[in-house]
Structure 1
Amino acid sequence: MVEGHNGCKEAPQSYTAVWPEGAGAAIGAALSGSSIGRPATTNIDLKSLIIMNELHRTRSVSQAAENLRVSQSSISMSLAKLRRQFNDPLFVRTSTGMEPTPHALEVLTLLSKAERLIQSALQHQVIFDATTSERIFHICSTDIAVLTLLPTLMRRLKEIAPSIQVDLLPMSDSIPRLLESGEVDLAVGFISPMGAGFYQQRLFRDRFVCAVRAGHPRVQDELTLQQFELETHLTVATPGTGHSVLERTLAAKKIRRKVGLRVPSFLGLAPILTNTDYLAVVPEQLGQSFASTGQIRLLQLPFAIAPYYILQHWHERYNHDPANVWFRSVMAELFLR
């Protein structure tokens, strides 16, 4: 389920047409009469060009009018406009009907090319084949993702899209701009709403737990509030992890925390914990990765704290982009719960 807030809303699909090579030149030449070097004017519309083509096909003003379901006077007026535009009669009456002049034949040839190019453009569809694509997907996330998300993601990509690459970028205040420009495909984490033009999907809920080394001399199977305040803590301050939720809770409950070491990253946290008596409040998903070694234990915090949600975010420019849609679906398949 895709969710939005603070102005986020569903937007209709919108694509910018990419003309096949040469289409612009062909259409421009047809409209401007470039074969004789005349500048383009703005009073020729597509209807007039359709009339010109129908006159060539039928060789008859009356038949062209009937086929196009317009009056003969409309045909005549459009022909007069085209004659002024191209400074040429374009069609003249002969014993076999309205025959095109050499100039008209040249313009009609260009129009025929332009028509084929336009038809090709209108039928053009963006196709993304994950099994053969070598695309690089850029993700903004926390370093926690290196330990918790990327192993699972890369294992799955190897199975279904072996040539896809992933570039993990750090969280920053530039995430909205990077998503909007396409420099980043997805931002994953606990991220503040970015407002209108952005989409988000909730992946999973996480909560905070306390990590301590196995064999801690004073903290056993249960952590009391008094122990929490008396013991020395190892803290990590990094965006996108729900750290602000923890800080607000401690402040609201007037819980003191004695900090012995502050680090900017969760990477390398486990070795510090296993070699000290520090306590560290960490996201549970990360803590489970630490605890899998048997050297670190996870304890419930001695105070109530709200859980938080990890979401994936993207910009509406890429809401219908096949590659982005596919990558988001893989993320949801793996982590949505």
Structure 2
Amino acid sequence: MRFKKLDLNLLVALDALLLESSISRAAERVHLSQGAMSNALSRLREHFDDELLVAVGRRMEATPRAEALKPLVRDLLVRIDSTMQVQPHFDPTTTERSFRIVVSDYSLWVFVPHLLRHAAELGASARFEFLPQVGEPTQALERGEADVLIIPKRFVSTEHPSAALFEDEFTCLMAADHPLAGLPLTREAYEAAGHVLMQPASASGTAIDAMHLQRLGIQRRAEVTSYSFSSLPGMLLGTQRLATVQRHIARQACRHLPLAMADPGFELPKVDQRLQWHRHRSEDPGLLWLRETLLAAARKMDAVQLLSR
């Protein structure tokens, strides 16, 4: 099929080439041979009268024209995909659809069990695929690689709709036999202690608690770092270190491990988890059900937390 002399099938190849900046990887992405992808690139170069990808040493880089085309082509293909996938009716009890959800290890531990429990109570046959929150999570929406995101408010894009999912706050954890257990935790004691810290896997990422403490001028002596908030509680056992974690994690950890919670004598940050989806998929019946199910699960989680206080 052609539009203004362009074979529209070439848009899929162009999208893959711009995402991968590699003929071989682009060919693998769309299940073409390397020769077929090279031929597609030649035709695209002729149509746009631009090299699109140029060799720089041993790698390929997009030209300015290609960089300008990249978000436009991706947006167009997401629109087409969204249109083709939308069905007039969605029955969660008979569907074989798989939903892809970007989520942090924190939400994977404290929220996802509530989601799966609630979906089971509804008799849902839908499948769930949880993807790690890395880099810029909204790119997963833009590329059509995720159906929804569960992300901190600071990562939410203004280009797509979102909704508040649940809130949390930070607190401190220590081993139950720590000398400070049961005592008021002062700023001085907090700064003097050794800490187990979460450092995001992304080299450019900074954890929300670290950002907040930096603004307060509070220094921590990092003795252990991990890429996962949920791993911190277990790393405290048998040590005199502290960990700053979300209260949901702290409560769960204290139910299963000999740990003690303590609120320090200074303000710790709030956690505002948001639900975000692509603007072109707002009317997808399946995603409408998914969003409603996620929000209902969050309300149930909040009710459980209130009862456990």
Give the TM bin, normalised by the shorter chain. 0.5 to 0.7
| Correspondence for 2:277 | 314
2:210 is aligned, of 226, 247, 258, to 247
Residue 214 to residue 243, structure 1, CA distance change in 2 (3 Å): farther
Q: Deviations over 1:217-238 (max 9, x none)?
A: 2443321111101110000023
**Are the equivalent residues in 2 in contact too, given 1:238–1:265 (CA < 8 A)?**
yes
**Are the equivalent residues in 1 in contact too, given 2:134–2:201 (CA < 8 A)?**
yes
**Aligned counterparts of 1:239 and 1:312: Cα–Cα separation in 2:** 22
**Aligned counterparts of 1:162 and 1:125: Cα–Cα separation in 2:** 17
**Aligned counterparts of 1:239 and 1:126: Cα–Cα separation in 2:** 40
**Aligned counterparts of 1:125 and 1:269: Cα–Cα separation in 2:** 44
Query: 1:174 offset after TM fit, Å?
Result: 4.4
| Correspondence for 1:143 | 105
Scaled by the length of structure 2, the TM-score of the pair is: 0.63
Residue 232 to residue 196, structure 1, CA distance change in 2 (3 Å): closer
**Are the equivalent residues in 2 in contact too, given 1:219–1:227 (CA < 8 A)?**
no
**Aligned counterparts of 2:161 and 2:238: Cα–Cα separation in 1:** 42
Query: 1:270 offset after TM fit, Å?
Result: 2.5
| Correspondence for 2:264 | 301
Scaled by the length of structure 1, the TM-score of the pair is: 0.58
**Aligned counterparts of 2:285 and 2:183: Cα–Cα separation in 1:** 50
Query: 1:244 offset after TM fit, Å?
Result: 4.3
Structure 1 residue runs without a partner (length 5+): 1-123
Query: 1:161 offset after TM fit, Å?
Result: 3.6
Which residues in structure 2 correspond to 1:163-178 (within 5 Å)?
163-178=125-140
Q: Which amino acid aligns with 1:134?
A: E
Query: 1:181 offset after TM fit, Å?
Result: 3.5
| Correspondence for 2:239 | 276
Query: 1:197 offset after TM fit, Å?
Result: 3.1
**Are the equivalent residues in 2 in contact too, given 1:142–1:239 (CA < 8 A)?**
no
**Are the equivalent residues in 2 in contact too, given 1:135–1:165 (CA < 8 A)?**
yes
**Are the equivalent residues in 1 in contact too, given 2:172–2:264 (CA < 8 A)?**
yes
Q: Deviations over 1:43-62 (max 9, x none)?
A: xxxxxxxxxxxxxxxxxxxx
Identity among equivalent positions (%) equals 25
Structure 2 residue runs without a partner (length 5+): 1-85, 303-309
Q: Which amino acid aligns with 1:143?
A: D
**Aligned counterparts of 2:215 and 2:209: Cα–Cα separation in 1:** 10
Q: Secondary structure at the match of 2:183?
A: coil
Q: Secondary structure at the match of 1:212?
A: strand
| Correspondence for 1:213 | 175
Q: Deviations over 1:18-49 (max 9, x none)?
A: xxxxxxxxxxxxxxxxxxxxxxxxxxxxxxxx
The two structures, once aligned, show a CA RMSD in angstroms of 2.4
| Correspondence for 2:287 | 324
**Aligned counterparts of 1:194 and 1:284: Cα–Cα separation in 2:** 22
| Correspondence for 1:227 | 189
Aligned length: 213
**Are the equivalent residues in 1 in contact too, given 2:173–2:233 (CA < 8 A)?**
no
**Aligned counterparts of 1:157 and 1:271: Cα–Cα separation in 2:** 30
**Aligned counterparts of 1:308 and 1:268: Cα–Cα separation in 2:** 18
| Correspondence for 2:120 | 158
Which residues in structure 2 correspond to 1:1-337 (within 5 Å)?
126-238=88-200, 244-336=207-299
Q: Secondary structure at the match of 2:294?
A: helix
Larger radius of gyration: 1
| Correspondence for 1:120 | none
Residue 217 to residue 190, structure 1, CA distance change in 2 (3 Å): same
Q: Secondary structure at the match of 2:229?
A: coil
Q: Deviations over 1:57-83 (max 9, x none)?
A: xxxxxxxxxxxxxxxxxxxxxxxxxxx
Residue 166 to residue 333, structure 1, CA distance change in 2 (3 Å): same
**Aligned counterparts of 1:193 and 1:218: Cα–Cα separation in 2:** 35
Query: 1:239 offset after TM fit, Å?
Result: 7.6
Q: Deviations over 1:275-331 (max 9, x none)?
A: 322100011111111112251121112212342311111111111100111001011
Residue 253 to residue 178, structure 1, CA distance change in 2 (3 Å): closer
Q: Which amino acid aligns with 1:149?
A: F
**Are the equivalent residues in 2 in contact too, given 1:136–1:164 (CA < 8 A)?**
yes
Query: 1:256 offset after TM fit, Å?
Result: 1.6
Residue 263 to residue 195, structure 1, CA distance change in 2 (3 Å): closer
**Are the equivalent residues in 2 in contact too, given 1:180–1:317 (CA < 8 A)?**
no
